[in-house]
């Protein structure tokens, strides 16, 4: 590990950003100089000052790379919720593909020795998941919506830029949840409803969509640790390396809900809500992360039930303080 790494984090103020800051501190201590950026400037409890950086602004991105001269960039900036990206597909393409190109080009021009860690998504495999089998990094990319397609395009574009000398590691995390996640995602969406029912703010009915789909869930703390391990081993990874970050364990959404309901303090009726149904849902999406295990020595450390409890308690706290 270099004497002093200079780490630039984009999208630092988002859900994963805080967990990444804590993982960075645990792994690197004072051996890393961390600079955080987000769409708007502010103060962050873990990073301290956060600089404004619009990832769509090529000139601003180039200036940030020149100013910070990073040895590593961890690129978290993006539209986190697929539903939000699909509601504004042009923005999704500008942020995901345009932002990735801006970063890659700026690094090649102003900091060619820098390692770029691009955080994509396991949803890039899309229709290939219809096989029902765990998806390795060699699985065909077949995105089925604008969110996944724009992420896949960024992944492919940065992979091609490795031919120009870009040192890029492409990370493909599958579903992850934990403290601080918004209710645009399934586990916190359930948890919020339970917390509001417990607090007497809603009737004892929990509205749900498709409960039969199976997904691969991780604790965000394990995901953040994987990113840091990849950063620390960047010098030893081949150019353009791709790493799935996954549990390898499919979990039925209905079973996830049952786990949450067993922790509820009141009796709750489950009601099917047509507005929450997604007819295009793939029946099962599960990742194969053997490569990350073999290369990084990474495997999940936090249990699923622990993560569920953290999310539910988080929403109980949010509901109480509102």
Q: Domain check: are 145 and 195 in the same one?
A: no
Return the closest-CA partner of residue 25 out of 234, 17, 175: 17
Mean pLDDT of 224-242: 96
**Residue 251: strand pairing partners:** 215
pLDDT, residue 277, reads 73
| Domain region containing 196 | 186-213+250-285+308-321
Tally of structural domains, the chain: 2
CATH number at residue 30: 3.40.50.720
Over residues 173-182, the pLDDT tens digits come to 999 999 999 9
Among 26-40, 72-86, 190-204, 270-284, which stretch is predicted with the lowest mean pLDDT?
270-284
Mean pLDDT of 159-172: 97
Contact call for residues 68 and 6 (beta carbons, < 8 A): yes
Q: Domain check: are 33 and 131 in the same one?
A: yes
Contact call for residues 121 and 130 (beta carbons, < 8 A): no
Among 126-135, 159-168, 269-278, which stretch is predicted with the lowest mean pLDDT?
269-278
pLDDT, residue 280, reads 55
Mean pLDDT of 93-104: 98
The DSSP call for residue 133 is S
pLDDT, residue 209, reads 87
Instruction: Give the pLDDT band of residue 3 (cuts 50, 70, 90).
Output: low
Over residues 48-75, the pLDDT tens digits come to 999 999 999 999 999 999 999 999 999 9
Q: Domain check: are 202 and 313 in the same one?
A: yes
Compute the distance between CA of residue 178 and CA of residue 307 in angstroms, rounded to an integer.
Answer: 6
The DSSP call for residue 132 is -
Compute the distance between CA of residue 84 and CA of residue 73 in angstroms, rounded to an integer.
Answer: 25
Q: Domain check: are 154 and 75 in the same one?
A: yes
Q: Domain check: are 126 and 259 in the same one?
A: no
For the full predicted model, state whether its pTM sits above 0.85.
yes
Contact call for residues 116 and 158 (beta carbons, < 8 A): yes
Compute the distance between CA of residue 269 and CA of residue 191 in angstroms, rounded to an integer.
Answer: 14
pLDDT, residue 275, reads 78
Q: Which residue has the higher pLDDT, 221 or 4?
A: 221
- Rounded to the nearest integer, the mean pLDDT of the chain is 95
Q: Domain check: are 278 and 292 in the same one?
A: no
Over residues 281-315, the pLDDT tens digits come to 789 999 999 999 999 999 999 999 999 999 999 99
Instruction: Give the pLDDT band of residue 1 (cuts 50, 70, 90).
Output: very low
Exposure class string for 284-309: b at 16+ Cβ within 10 A, else e = bbbbbbebbeebbebebebebeebbe
Return the closest-CA partner of residue 234 out of 32, 13, 30: 32
Contact call for residues 185 and 178 (beta carbons, < 8 A): no
Among 187-191, 236-240, 265-269, which stretch is predicted with the lowest mean pLDDT?
236-240
Is pLDDT at 223 greater than 80 in this prediction? yes
pLDDT, residue 2, reads 47
Contact call for residues 80 and 15 (beta carbons, < 8 A): yes
SS3 112: coil
Q: Domain check: are 173 and 200 in the same one?
A: no
pLDDT, residue 321, reads 58
Is pLDDT at 108 greater than 50 in this prediction? yes
Looking at beta carbons, which pairs linking 1-6 to residues 24 or more positions away fall under 8 Å?
1/28, 1/31, 1/232, 2/71, 3/31, 4/31, 4/32, 4/33, 5/31, 5/32, 5/33, 5/71, 5/72, 5/231, 6/32, 6/33, 6/35, 6/68, 6/69, 6/70, 6/71, 6/72
Q: Domain check: are 48 and 129 in the same one?
A: yes
Q: Domain check: are 170 and 260 in the same one?
A: no
Q: Domain check: are 262 and 297 in the same one?
A: no
Is pLDDT at 4 greater than 90 in this prediction? no
The DSSP call for residue 51 is E
Q: Domain check: are 105 and 135 in the same one?
A: yes
Q: What are phi and psi of 284, to 5 degrees?
A: -145, 130
CATH number at residue 280: 3.90.25.10
Q: Domain check: are 241 and 129 in the same one?
A: yes
């Amino acid at each position: 590990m270099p004497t002093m790494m200079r780490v630039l984090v984009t999208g630092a103020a988002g859900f994963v950003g805080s967990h990444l800051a804590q993982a960075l501190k645990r792994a690197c201590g004072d051996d890393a100089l961390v600079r955080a950026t987000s769409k708007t400037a502010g103060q962050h409890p873990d990073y301290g000052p956060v600089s404004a950086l619009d990832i769509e602004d090529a000139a601003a991105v180039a200036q940030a790379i020149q100013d910070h001269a990073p040895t590593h960039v961890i690129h978290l900036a993006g539209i986190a919720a697929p539903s939000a990206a699909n509601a504004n597909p042009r923005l999704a393409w500008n942020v995901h593909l345009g932002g990735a190109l801006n970063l890659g080009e700026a690094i090649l021009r102003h900091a060619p020795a820098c390692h770029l860690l691009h955080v994509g998504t396991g949803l890039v495999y899309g229709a290939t998941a219809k096989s029902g089998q765990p998806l390795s990094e060699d699985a065909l990319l077949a995105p089925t919506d604008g969110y996944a397609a724009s992420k896949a395009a960024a992944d492919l574009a940065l992979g091609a830029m490795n031919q120009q000398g870009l040192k890029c590691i492409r990370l493909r995390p599958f579903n992850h949840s934990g403290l601080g996640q918004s209710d645009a995602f399934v586990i916190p969406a359930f948890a919020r409803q339970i917390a509001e029912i417990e607090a007497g703010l809603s009737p004892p009915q929990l509205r749900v969509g498709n409960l039969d789909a199976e997904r691969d869930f991780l604790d965000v703390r394990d995901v953040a640790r994987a990113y840091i391990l990849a950063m620390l081993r960047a010098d030893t990874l081949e150019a353009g390396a791709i790493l799935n970050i996954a549990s390898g364990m499919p979990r039925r959404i209905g079973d996830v809900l049952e786990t949450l309901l067993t922790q509820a303090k009141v009796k709750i009726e489950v009601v099917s809500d047509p507005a929450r149904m997604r007819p295009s849902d793939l029946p099962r999406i599960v990742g194969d992360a053997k490569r990350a295990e073999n290369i990084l020595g990474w495997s999940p450390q936090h249990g699923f039930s622990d993560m569920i409890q953290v999310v539910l308690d988080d929403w109980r706290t949010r509901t109480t303080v509102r």
